[in-house]
Amino acid sequence: MSDFRNYKEKFMAQIDEWEAELDVLKAKARKKAANFKIEHQEEIDELEERIEKGKVKLREFSEKGEEAWESLRKNLDETLDSLSAKFNEFKAKF
């Protein structure tokens, strides 16, 4: 399997994992008192938005194909790092 395909699979797997974890965290937030949920709804919305942006970047990445993947990889890495940091920050609150 090429580096391009490996990287694409890794990116897709990470997005899937974050979506699943976010669903679990949203369920936990629903169990908390109304004030806690209200307090964290903005963060949940931000994470959902960032995940959607990650999906858009993944689609762009896929459409560009193997020829352009090296030039796009840095941008994708930055997107993943940023989303990962925000996600871990939010998870720590639980």
pTM (predicted TM-score) = 0.61
pLDDT digit string (tens) for 4-32? Answer: 888 889 888 999 999 999 999 888 877 77
pLDDT digit string (tens) for 37-92? Answer: 677 888 889 889 989 988 888 888 778 777 777 777 778 888 888 888 888 888 88
Give 16's contacts (C-beta < 8 A, 6+ positions apart).
Answer: none
Indicate the domain borders of the chain: 3-18+36-91
- What the block records as the tokens of 10 is 């890794």
Q: 3-state SS of 34-80?
A: HHHHHHHHHHHHHHHHHHHHHHHHHHHHHHHCHHHHHHHHHHHHHHH
